[in-house]
Chains A and B, each alone.
Chain A
Amino acid sequence: MATQLLMAKSPEEAVNNKTATAAFLAGGTEVNRLGSDIAVKADMLISLKKCSGLSDITEADGYITIGSMCTFQDLIESDTVPCYLKEAAHFMASRTKRNMATIGGNIASLRSDSYLIPTLMAVGAVLEMEGNNGSCRIGIAEYVDRSEADALITSVTVPKEIKVISRRFANTAQSHAVLTMSAALTEEGIWLDGAVKNVGLLHFCDLEKAFREDPDISEEAIIEMVRVCTGLHTADDMFGSDTYKRYLIAVTAYDLHKRLVGKEV
């Protein structure tokens, strides 16, 4: 149980004090909540609230760079942040929570019902990381795969002009979502990413391939493809049955693809 708190003044100070039993503390919506595993396992929390230079939003060469300590409400109120990211930030319904939750914290917590990660993965966001070996830039998909808990996310860079559609399915605006899915249209074709509750953060490469090979593929074919997919480890739980989750993934992917390429659903 964390009993010590360090109020880091800079990203370097935060990283230098990061040990195996310490945890970064950003907005607090994840670490400070009752029952948080992170706070239970850590003996020290490193608060990033006073870190300088982590709350800027800048634009250059068609890309937007967002400081990791920008809150969801900062994203919504910014004139620079692209609409698709504002839409994802709005998935967090509570404004009081949006005043606290940060983009960096939401990525680092890697929740299986993440608000932002599906959208950031679909647009190919790049993370600037600060670690003991200096700074580096990695794609968000790579970060999700290898989760560098000791390195600090300092900024997130996303393209400004890209066509993206996102959907989130939950019982209520405040509930945990069973599925959050985003699709982006790039020169290479459609990119499909999602967060499936209790399963994880997924890149739907088989579905992308199917849509690229046959843009007019039927909804029934997509439903059948997901129904028999062995690489998808959905299970029955309080958020729905395995069958329901697979059906939801399939029809949502089909819907997003059709809307992105401008066809009626």
Chain B
Amino acid sequence: MDRQYKVVHCTINGKKVEQVVDVRASLTDMLRNDFRLTSVKKGCEVGECGACTVIINGEGFNSCIYLAVWAEGKDIWTLEGLTGPGGELSDIQQAFVDEGAIQCGFCTPGFIMTSWEIVNSGKEYTDDELRKALSGHLCRCTGYENIFRAVKKTMLRHLGKYDEAELVNSQGITEYPEPMPFK
């Protein structure tokens, strides 16, 4: 049977685009092959590792199991869309650098896209909720703690809790100072 193609109209990183795609192509394939957005990684291709995560209409999706044709009319963001016009890193990207939350870097774009959704949600996640929210991503290098710390600190800063962000220790736990003894 002949292959079937369709035209997809969508917005990628704020720019309206249209692209002819094979109806069986994944969104990962379209973003990487047609738009050269190579931050979208091909990892497991079964929706388990999270390396291909992109934001679609404000929510994180595994683009490897998301058909490109489903992106019709959608607003899609990848890691490339987070940087400033001069290539300046966004705060969540900078936090990953500052906290040493990267090693080989393969999982990093996916982690950052989910983290971006978390820190822009306006919600203060508990440590437990934050770990669960990040659980769709696999990292074989860092051991997760640095990633967790980077996301937690950025979330607190987004909520205006700058002092509290400085109290997050190396284990990602917020260490409040001892209260002054009552006199």
**A residues touching B (Cβ–Cβ < 8 Å)?**
2-5, 7, 28-29, 32-35, 39, 43, 45, 47, 49, 73, 93-97, 99-100, 173-174
The 15 listed contacts between A and B (C-beta, < 8 Å) are A2-B24, A3-B23, A4-B1, A5-B4, A32-B26, A34-B45, A34-B64, A47-B69, A93-B135, A94-B48, A96-B53, A96-B62, A97-B47, A97-B136, A100-B62
> Interface residues of B, CB < 8 Å — how many?
32
Given contacts A95-B60, A96-B53, contact A174 B67 (CB under 8 A): no
Decide yes or no whether B59 CB sits under 8 A from chain A: yes
Decide yes or no whether B3 CB sits under 8 A from chain A: yes
Contact A43 B1 (CB under 8 A): yes
Bound CA–CA A3/B23 (angstroms):
7
Closest A residue to B114 by CB, please name it: A96
Bound CA–CA A7/B136 (angstroms):
28
Q: Which of B23, B45, B135 contacts A173 (CB 8 A)?
A: B135
Given contacts A33-B45, A93-B132, contact A28 B1 (CB under 8 A): no
> Mostly helix, strand, loop or mixed at chain A's interface?
loop
Q: Which of B46, B53, B138 contacts A34 (CB 8 A)?
A: B46
Contact B4 A99 (CB under 8 A): no
Contact A174 B4 (CB under 8 A): no
Bound CA–CA A47/B6 (angstroms):
14
Which chain A residues border B70 with CB–CB below 8 Å?
A: 28, 47, 49
Bound CA–CA A28/B60 (angstroms):
15
Contact B24 A99 (CB under 8 A): no
Binary interface encoding of chain B residues 69-84 relative to chain A, with 1 for a CB under 8 A from any of its CBs, else 0: 1100000000000000
Decide yes or no whether B144 CB sits under 8 A from chain A: no
Contact B138 A174 (CB under 8 A): yes
Which chain A residues border B69 with CB–CB below 8 Å?
A: 5, 7, 47
Query: Residue among B6, B26, B69, B135 with the most chain A CB within 10 A?
Result: B135
The 8 closest A-B pairs by CB, nearest first: A94-B136, A5-B23, A34-B45, A33-B46, A32-B65, A96-B136, A96-B60, A93-B135
Q: Which of A7, A47, A95 contacts B135 (CB 8 A)?
A: A95
Determine how close the nearest CB of chain A comes to the CB of B60; give it in whole angstroms.
Answer: 4
Decide yes or no whether B109 CB sits under 8 A from chain A: no
Q: Which residues of chain B from 118 to 139 have a CB within 8 Å of any chain A CB?
A: 132-133, 135-138
Contact A99 B65 (CB under 8 A): no
Contact A100 B4 (CB under 8 A): no
Determine how close the nearest CB of chain A comes to the CB of B91; give it in whole angstroms.
Answer: 21
